[in-house]
Amino acid sequence: EPEAVIQPQKDKKRFLASYKPSVLVNELRIIIGQAVDPSSKTQVVTSLLDQAQQQGVIETALFDAGYFNQQVIDATEERGIELLCPEGRSQGKDWHKQSGKYYPKSHFQYDPEQDHYRCPQGEILTCQSRYKGNAASPAYRLYASEACGRCSHKDQCTRSAKGRRIKRYASDGAKDALRQKMQQPAAREHYVKRQGMVEPVFSHLRYQQGLNRFRRKGLAGVRVEFSLHALA
């Protein structure tokens, strides 16, 4: 199965040659877009949105935290679709990305007027250098602070002797705007409908139709098989 990718299964314990199926559904739980990729669920977002727009006007798209990236932001913006997508788990007061090791980048607040970051302890990180980027790596600005050396929370932030470094990419502005939108009560109230819309569809595919594994080989065959399940 050379087109499949070895990846973790639902139980997080097994690794098998697999494909990633995706669906886009409406409020009636009707599939209006479907696709299969060897390993990425974000690569098919443009296809899902295009399929959905063939059925009518799409005003808002609700995606889970796994889709919080520039590719999805650009795909929805180009099509005039509002995007609601949290960076972290949509539970509790803070929907930002969490980490059990160090403060995530989202906990550093960027001030566009002053062009600096403020860390969770209130210290200022200023721009230290710039990287122009190349074909493989995008350009960024590097921010740091001398206060890291005397900070009592350094172990919660970084293990680097030079202190915490924050890279700011051109795409970070759009991500900051999306984070702020997801703090609005109206956006959150709308977003929480996502689980009730799409999860029953996956449940039906798995437990009513028995789609716990693909039985055809090769990406083309798997796409045909999943299309038939989605149609059913």
Q: What is the pLDDT of residues 32-58, one digit of tens each?
A: 999 999 999 999 999 999 999 999 999
144 φ/ψ angles, rounded to the nearest 5 degrees: -155, 170
- pLDDT digit string, tens, across residues 69-94: 999 999 999 999 999 999 876 666 66
- Domain assignment present for residue 176? The answer is no
pLDDT at 58: 96
Q: Which helix (H) or strand (E) holds 169?
A: strand 166-169
pLDDT above 90 as % of the chain: 84
Q: Is the pLDDT of residue 96 over 70?
A: no
Provide the token pair at 196: 């009730």
- C-alpha span between 73 and 79 (Å, rounded): 10
Whole-model pTM: value is 0.85
Burial per residue of 87-96, b for 16 or more beta-carbon CB atoms within 10 angstroms, e otherwise: bbebeeeebb
Q: Are residues 188 and 80 in the same domain?
A: yes
Q: Is residue 45 part of a domain?
A: yes
- For residue 220, what are its two tokens? 């083309």
Interatomic CA distance for residues 111 and 165, integer angstroms = 16
Query: How many structural domains is the chain composed of?
Result: 2
For residue 36, give the CATH number of its domain: 3.30.420
- In 3D space, the residue among 68, 30, 71, 28 whose CA is nearest the CA of residue 178 turns out to be 68
What is the predicted pLDDT for the residue at 106?
87
> Is 68 within the bounds of a domain?
yes
Both 60 and 117 in one domain: the answer is: no
* pLDDT at residue 10, as a whole number: 80
CB 73 within 8 A of CB 174: yes
17/85 same-domain check: yes
- Are residues 12 and 72 located together in one domain of the fold? yes
Same domain, 193 and 223: yes
Q: In terms of residue numbers, what domain contains 114?
A: 105-171
Is the model's pLDDT at 147 over the cut of 90? Answer: yes
Residue 97 counted as domain residue: no
Is 99 among the domain residues?
A: no
Residue at 85 is within a domain? yes
Q: What pLDDT score was predicted for residue 204? A: 96
Burial class of residue 49, CB neighbours in 10 A (0-12, 13-18, 19+): buried
Residues 178/83, Cβ–Cβ less than 8 Å: yes
Instruction: Answer yes or no: do 22 and 66 share one domain.
Output: yes
* Measured distance CA(146)–CA(119) in Å, rounded: 12
pLDDT of residue 95: 63
Both 186 and 71 in a single domain?
yes
Residues pairing with 37 in the sheet: 20
> pLDDT averaged over the chain?
92
* Beta strands 166-169; 140-144: pairing state: antiparallel
Strand partners, 11: none
pLDDT for residue 98 is more than 70:
no
pLDDT for 100 beyond 90? no
Please tell me the predicted confidence (pLDDT) of residue 11.
82
pLDDT > 90? residue 101? no
Percent share of the chain, pLDDT over 70: 95
51 and 11 in a single domain? The answer is yes
Are 46 and 155 contained in the same domain? no
Amino acid at 95: W
User: pLDDT at position 102, please?
Assistant: 86
Contact at 8 Å (CB) between 169 and 140?
Answer: yes
Q: What is the mean pLDDT of residues 165-169?
A: 96
Q: Is the model's pLDDT at 29 over the cut of 70?
A: yes
